Structure 1
Amino acid sequence: MIPRFLVKRLDSLLREQLETNDAGLAIDFTKPVGEAALAEADSASWQVFRNPVSLLIGGIAAVLLELAEPRVRSGVWEYSSFATDPLRRMRRTGMAAMVTVYGARSTAEQMIAGIGRMHAKIQGTTPDGIAYRADDPVLLRWVHATALFGFLEAYRQFVRPVSAADRDRFIAEGVPAALLYGALDPPSSETELLTLFDNTLPDLEPSEIVHDFLRILRGVELFPRPLKPMTGLVIRAAVSILPAAVQERLGLRKLANLPPGGRLLLRTLGSQIDWLPLDSTPAAQSCLRMGLPSDYLAKRRRS
């Protein structure tokens, strides 16, 4: 088991991330008292999104899938700070995900509306001359699908198995938020998600930007300095969960091989953290908002 002092340190790091987040959001997940989120407290989403190991791995995988689509790639690379400050951009995206899943419905709706207004201002042309808009419902569906796939697959591979029924439930729970973001006909089951991936695969393409992102990410302090070697391991883990056809298309197959013991290390860490009642997480704080104990989800995990 993870030593108690490391549990306290992890909880402290998570609290610092929330208190110093630069997402332009000042979110108190404990308020308004009693107001439900877009997903219920006993949902599959509340379980999956509470694990920091799978969130980190899944988040990187989702970005790689976004960058594989040329129109999304141009919008992300030209109108965000991924190229210059990927950690800040990932924190912003991570906070948006936390608010979407755990935040009170009114808070989530307000945030999503703001993001929609920002997307409406972003448009351009890819290097190949293809016009794009950030508020294109088709592109928003792809971005939503990349997040679904990344977070669910990371949880399934590096935390614990997820039944087919719970995978479908997790994907269906994302539909209300996807519609608020403006996505067209978002997938509501694993079959629909995989079909979308199959249909989108011909549009995906390799790019130096994908490799630039990974190169920049290797220099980012994702972990405290003593654990810096974990960064490379997490990146490989993120690549490893991508569909084999996507790895091949992006030229990432070699990077998908984790070093001996690497998968076991991450799986052990992810699994053990999943049992912990980390009081500073949005999940625990949101449980308090709903009149539940902060360790409600950890107890459900044990049952």
Structure 2
Amino acid sequence: MSALTLPLPIQARVEAMAAGFLQAQGMPPADFATPVGEPALVAADAVSWRVFKNPVGLFIGGVAAVILELAEPRVRAGVWDHTTFRTDPVARLRRTGLAAMVTVYAARSRAEAMIAAVGRRHAKITGLADDGRAYAASDPALLDWVQATASYGFAEAYHRFVRPLSAADRDRAWAESAPAARLYGAVGAPRSQVDWAAQLAAMRSALTASPVVAEFLQIMRQAPALPGLARPLQPLLVRAAVDLIPPDVARGLALWREPGLSPAQAALVRAAARAADRLCLRNAPPAQACVRLGLPADWLYR
């Protein structure tokens, strides 16, 4: 694999759009290039560094993760009642995307500071779910589920639509999420595919259908979540996310009402995801993080 080179004017435009997309309201600008030499929570040769550099995979995996989060009534209430998904979905997505980038690529000290700030906000979020149960966003069991759904969504999207990951690499991706998971308070989050299968089986009876899932998907189809050049693909990427939901969970959530990808559409999504995997944006977090560690900006694309 080699880095994809675009004509200079197009490259500059894409770089500018990518930089703007990661400016999240309510969060300070993130600097991935400093402190020079300081490692991230995981090493640069980690599977996670490859997975998270792909914006198409991140979008698909992020939507799939939220579907699974919204399937758990207490997490659903916390997400839907205490975030701006309904009123300002783009800002919410940018904050989530930036937090993911910081967790993987930022210097360890900066990632730790951001995660601590998230934890302080979570400590204030409590309420009642639609099934009458009380919840707290700092509940370790709920944090474990949120962490697990994110890890599953991102790695599975890369595996399905970018390039297949070996069984060993999939286990590595789970294990690499452990340092951040502990900082978030998700001390029981899965660390392997076997752990994930066990957690999913244990959670299955607790996952319930809700109109919120359909509302979320409709928002994701329509909100200007992607930069302009990629926006025509957005409805297909949402369909791809639906396809990532484990079949038994999808049936329980009545996701048969949501269209998945046709073979031709799946091929188009794979083509876009694989092209994005070769596009090195030098002002984006993966490239900046490489430079911070003394590596070439396009190191992940070689």
Q: TM over 0.5, yes or no?
A: yes
2:17 aligns to what? 13
Letter in 2 for 1:296: W
1:246 aligns with 2:273: no
- 1:165-215 deviations in Å (ceiling 9; x for gaps): 000001000001101000132211111012111111110000011111112
Letter in 1 for 2:262: P
By how many angstroms is 1:22 displaced?
A: 1.5
1:79 aligns to what? 82
**Secondary structure, aligned partner of 1:261:** helix
1:43 aligned residue (28, 42, 46): 46
C-alpha distance in structure 2 between counterparts of 1:220 and 1:210, whole Å: 15
2:150 aligns to what? 147
Q: How many residues align?
A: 298
2:197 aligns to what? 194
Equivalent residue runs for 1:103-252 within 5 Å = 103-224=106-227, 228-252=231-255
2:272 aligns to what? 269
**Secondary structure, aligned partner of 2:135:** strand
- 1:280-303 deviations in Å (ceiling 9; x for gaps): 22011001111111111111xxxx
TM-score (norm 2): 0.94
1:295 aligns with 2:298: yes
- 1:48-79 deviations in Å (ceiling 9; x for gaps): 00000000110111111110100000011111
Letter in 1 for 2:52: F
1:99 aligns to what? 102
C-alpha distance in structure 2 between counterparts of 1:49 and 1:144, whole Å: 15
Q: 5+ unaligned residues in a row in structure 1: which ranges? A: none
Q: 5+ unaligned residues in a row in structure 2: which ranges? A: none
**Secondary structure, aligned partner of 1:127:** coil
C-alpha distance in structure 1 between counterparts of 2:176 and 2:264, whole Å: 34
C-alpha distance in structure 1 between counterparts of 2:12 and 2:118, whole Å: 34
| TM-align CA RMSD | 1.6
C-alpha distance in structure 1 between counterparts of 2:238 and 2:182, whole Å: 30
**Secondary structure, aligned partner of 1:149:** helix
Contact 1:237 1:256 in 2 (8 A): no
**Secondary structure, aligned partner of 1:41:** coil
TM-score (norm 1): 0.94
Letter in 2 for 1:182: G
Quick one: percent identity of the two aligned structures? 49
Contact 1:23 1:95 in 2 (8 A): no
Contact 1:2 1:272 in 2 (8 A): no
CA 6–295 in structure 1, closer or farther in 2 if over 3 Å, else same: same
By how many angstroms is 1:128 displaced?
A: 1.9
1:90 aligned residue (72, 89, 93): 93
Contact 1:237 1:263 in 2 (8 A): yes
Contact 1:99 1:107 in 2 (8 A): yes
